[in-house]
Each structure stands twice: as structure tokens, then as C-alpha cells.
Chains A and B, each alone.
Chain A
Amino acid sequence: MEHLNKTYPGGKVAVEDFNLEIEKGEFVCFIGTSGSGKTTTMRMINRMLSQTSGTIKLEGQDIGQMDPVKLRRKIGYVIQNIGLMPHMTIRDNITMVPKLLKWPQDKMNERAKEMIKLVELPEDYLDRYPSELSGGQQQRIGVVRALAANQDLVLMDEPFGALDPITREALQDLVKDLQERLGKTFVFVTHDMDEALKLSTRIVVMDGGKIMQVDTPDGILRHPANEFVENLIGKDRLIQARPSITTVGQVMLKSPIATTPGKSLTAALRLMHDKRVDSLLVTDEAGILKGMIGIEDVDYSFNSATSVDDIMKRDIFYVQSNSLIRDTVERILKRGFKNIPVVDDQHRLVGIVTRATLVDIVYDALWGDEEEDEESDNIHHGEDTTKAKANDQTGAEGGDQQ
């Protein structure tokens, strides 16, 4: 979208110089106060509204040059009021666009079944009418109706606003899953910051028809562009932000000291000495985490064993780099581990979390609010200090690590 403007007849400027590039597979949330132009912007994408000036391109093609009807059949559209046709069965509702595209009957039936499975409703619901479904079930159908014709882009305007929190959460999980698993691109209008933070790959904060900030949820929380964005996020969230949305990967020390199973104990001991650490992580040649050895093991077995392989502890506690600090901090603290290796999804060693790192996190979470103005500095500061302690993998106390 380039330099998009929309002025309603009567002179109301609803959208002003809106520029945004959305990548395939993104989940973009528009958030902002009422009347900030979210709906207007979204409806220009499928030409439900035409812009006063500016261009919108879909896969490089100016949508202004496309047939609006064909365009809309390619773009899923979900509205708050659901908009299921009350006089059509669920099956007919789901296959509305495929029918417009003149799919053969059996393919449509197939698709209807597939879609209802996707939202985990029983197949015999296909013959029901919308009034025979609960609001949440109806909106599930509303969501898959927008996907039934293989639309790659789905527009949603406050689709879950009217649902109770539990149903809303289930549907949020559904759309997030669709985006992640099927690679669909979503443009999602919401009022609810929690929803935006949970779903988005990027959030577009709007006010008065203008973009205030475009960033990842993390980026928005860490560096709100201005006071408006800060207020929209709310103080509570800013305070909680760090432990709640930071991943382990973001706080870990990135170059843990590691050795391989084949190394001799002498070599391992020398490494510990050189790096001034009291334990070593053990990985194979491919970097896959295999275990850990501590100085006490070396000391105890130096005469009886020869290689790292002989003495390393294999059954060790580790965390995934993409897991949230919020979820892991407590676990780590409770078990009293000092150093926790961090692995990626292929089980490769990518970092280490030390108790010093955790101290910083907890400190920020508890005291960060008293230093509001330094909030963002703090975050950087935190990283810097942990880096400075990189050599402190050992900690002075030694010994008690596993």
C-alpha cells in the first residue's frame, strides 16, 4: 500500500498517507482507537471502498486494475457480525465462493468436509443452519468460509469482538494456527491489544487515519514510538512485557563453552581453565547437545576415565530458545539450576542461561516500573551486563550445578 488516502464524501479524512508492505504469511493487526481508520483501510484492500488517492498492490499488481468481483473472490473476508447466510446450510455457506468459482459439486463437498474438520466440528453440522450453531461455532464457520476457495489473504474486521473470552481465545488459536501452518496472510483489525500481541507478526498502530507505529509485538512493547502507543499498550503491559514476551533466545548468552564427547579429560580441564568456567556443555560434531560435565566430575574421575564421553551427565535439563521466559523462569528458579543450556528446535546447542541472567530479568520485572523513563534503556542495559558476565558461566560458588 502506497500513499494511501481516503477522504469520505463530506470531507472526513479517514486515512492519510498510509504506507505499508505486507509479506506473504504475515499476520498483521491494525489496532487503534475507534475511528482511527482501521476498517476503512482494510476495506480498501478488497475494494469494498475505493481510495481517494494512492495505490494498493497485491502480488505486484495494482488492484485498481483488477475486476473487483474477481479480486474479492481471491481474498477471504470475515466481519464482526459473522455474516453467515441464515437461509443456507453450513455446507452452502462454506462453499459460497467455490460455488461462485464454479467448482464441481464433489470438489465442493470435499472441501466443506475438510473445512469443518479444520475447525473441529462434527461433519453432520454441514446440514445445519447457522441459527442452530452457537455464536462461537458460527464464527468458526465464518473463518473457514473465508478460506474455502484457497484464499491466501484473509481480511478480518474485529471478528472475535462479540465472543466470550474462552471462545475468543480458541478462535485466536485457530487463526494463528492457520497462519502458521497453512502460510495464509492475515490482515486483522482489533481493539484488543492482548489479541494483537498474541496474534501478530507485526502490529500497525493507527490514530486519526495515520500510522503511529509498525513493528513486531516485541518491538512495540520494547520501544513504543510515542505516548499514544504507550497509552494504547498500557502501563501494565509495559511492565510485564519483558518476562512475558521475551523468549529465552533473546536473553541467553550466545556462545556457551562446549566440548565434544571424544575429547580427553585433560583437554576439557584445560578448556575450563582457559575460559575460567567450572562446567562444560558437551555437543557432538553437529552441535547437538549431548550432555554436560562439571569440574567436580573431572576431579572425581580424572584417574579412572579418559574421555569426556565417559563422565558426562547425559540426562540434563535444558530449554528451547523460542520458549518464553515467562514460562521458563519459574521452572529454572525452582529447580535451583545454575546454568541451563538452550537448544534450538533441532536440539542444537545455541546458548546458555545463567543465574545472573535470571536475576536481571526478575529485577527488571519487579523494579522496572519505578524507572519508567529508563524503561527502554534498562532493557539494553540488562543485555549489556549479562554479556559482561559471559565469562562468569561458572559463578563463584561452583559445584552445585546439577
Chain B
Amino acid sequence: MITFLQTYGTQLLMKTWQHIYISAIALALGIIVAVPLGILLTRVKKIANVVMAIASMLQTIPAMALLALMIPFFGIGAIPAIVALFIYSLLPILRNTYLGMEDVEPSLIDAAKGMGLTGWQSIIKVEVPMAAPVIMSGIRLSATYVIAWAALASYIGAGGLGDFIFNGLNLYRTDLILGGSIPVIILALIVDWLLGKLEAVVTPRTSQA
């Protein structure tokens, strides 16, 4: 263990950083696209099913296949990996956003509209805050997925902790495999914990204490 860290310490830090970097960008893009899209879908319910179906379909493409599919479009490296992970992150966020928004007490929306909030104000001031916990749990789920799938990204040369794992697999080196996978697990746990905290923060207060 000590010797492993002595030999690969700096490399480990660098790969971890790459891993976080790829995952974070993919997740951020996912949030930026899926949350507004999910909100939009609650306004145009007719196409909601179609969009959800497409997102679910994308989710079922095997990770390796999706990554390989990126190569013709984006070559190799971090960018195709980010795009692929971004696609994966969409569905959980999209679905939770949509369901969360749909779940907001209709009488609240009615009251908001009746008081003269514009559609936009109703979304920002009432619906999103009410749906925030559900949206957040979608984001948490996506984050865990993305971090796990990011390990595969090294397959198309994106770097990250996957490099250790793939090297280990090639060289039959258990220490490298573990040295790559354990940090991935820890990373996933930490991020989930942090996002859990964030979830508590964005969950609107409904009582003083």
C-alpha cells in the first residue's frame, strides 16, 4: 500500500483530478440540459413521452458501445468521453425533474397563477423550489453513474482513474486494479454524500426549527 502510494502517488492524484474533471463537466452539462428540458416537458406534455422514450433508449446503449460510437464524431480523448457521460446523465435528471414538477400540488400552481404570477415566476418561485428535492435526487443518481462510467472513459483515451484499472487488467496487476477502482468508489461515495448535503440545502424550509 505504502509502496504503491510512493510509486504512483502523484499519478494517482492526477488521474483522480482528471476523473473528477471529466465527470463534473459531463454532469454539469447534464444538469444544464436536463433540468430545463424536464421543466419544459411539463408545459408541453404531448411530447414528454416521446422525449422520455428517447432518453431511456440512449440509456440502454451499452457504455462501451456508446464510447466507441463517439470516436467517429469526436475522435479520442476527453471530449468524446464527456459527451458520452453527458448522454448517460440525462435520463435520471430528466425523469426526476419531470416527475418532481408534475408532483407539485396543483392547488399551489393554481393559487400562484390566480395571484398573478406569470408562468415563469410560478416555475421559479413555486414549482422548482417544491420539486427541488426530487430533482436533486435525480442529480445524485446521475452523479454516481457518471463517476462509475467515467472509469471506462480511459478506453477512448480520456484518462482518469480508469487508466489504472485498464493497465492493471492488461498487466494482471491486482494492485493497479484496486488502486484505480477503490478511489472511484470513494469518489462516488464522497460526491453522493456532498450532493446529499446539497439536497438538504435546496430542500425548502417548511418550518422554523
Contact = CB atoms under 8 A, between A and B. Distances in A.
Nearest to A48: B114
Given A87-B130, A100-B121, A77 B114 contact: yes
B111 A72 contact: no
B115 A131 contact: no
A195 to B, nearest CB: 21
B205 A46 contact: no
A131 B114 contact: no
Contacts of A84: 111
Interface in A72-115: 72-74, 77, 79-87, 96-97, 100
A100 B129 contact: no
Contacts of B62: none
B116 interface: yes
A287 B99 CA distance: 72
A130 B206 contact: yes
B11 interface: no
Interface string A55-83: 00000000000000111111001011111
A87 B116 contact: no
A83 B110 contact: yes
B115 A87 contact: no
B10 interface: no
Contact of A132 (B105, B108, B129, B208): B208
Interface string B115-150: 111100100011001100000000000000000000
Contacts of A130: 206
Given A81-B107, A87-B206, A46 B126 contact: no
Nearest to A155: B114
Interface in B63-120: 105, 107-108, 110-118
Contact of B111 (A70, A83, A127, A132): A83
Contacts of A74: 116
Contacts of B9: none
A89 to B, nearest CB: 8
Interface residues of B, number: 22
B115 A72 contact: yes
B204 interface: yes
Contact of A72 (B114, B129, B205, B206): B114
A128 B116 contact: no
A129 interface: yes
Contacts of A145: 115
Interface in B165-209: 204-208
Contacts of B105: 81
Contacts of A48: 110, 113-114
B206 A131 contact: yes
A198 B43 CA distance: 42
B206 A86 contact: yes
Interface in A281-308: none
Contact of A69 (B118, B205, B208): B118
Given A87-B204, A132-B207, A97 B116 contact: yes
A73 B208 contact: no
B130 A100 contact: no
Contacts of A100: 115-117, 121
Contacts of B207: 128-129, 131-132
Question: B108, B110, B116, B126 — which one has the most chain A CB atoms within 10 A of its CB?
Answer: B116
Contacts of B117: 69, 96, 100
In the A-B complex, the 6 residue pairs with the smallest Cβ-Cβ separation, listed nearest first, are A83-B111, A87-B204, A73-B116, A77-B114, A72-B116, A81-B107
Interface of B: 105, 107-108, 110-118, 121, 125-126, 129-130, 204-208
Given A83-B111, A85-B125, A87-B206, 16 more contacts: A46-B114, A69-B118, A71-B116, A72-B115, A72-B116, A73-B116, A79-B107, A79-B111, A82-B107, A82-B111, A83-B114, A86-B204, A86-B206, A87-B130, A131-B207, A132-B207
11 contacts: A48-B114, A72-B113, A79-B107, A82-B107, A83-B114, A87-B204, A87-B205, A129-B207, A130-B206, A132-B208, A155-B114
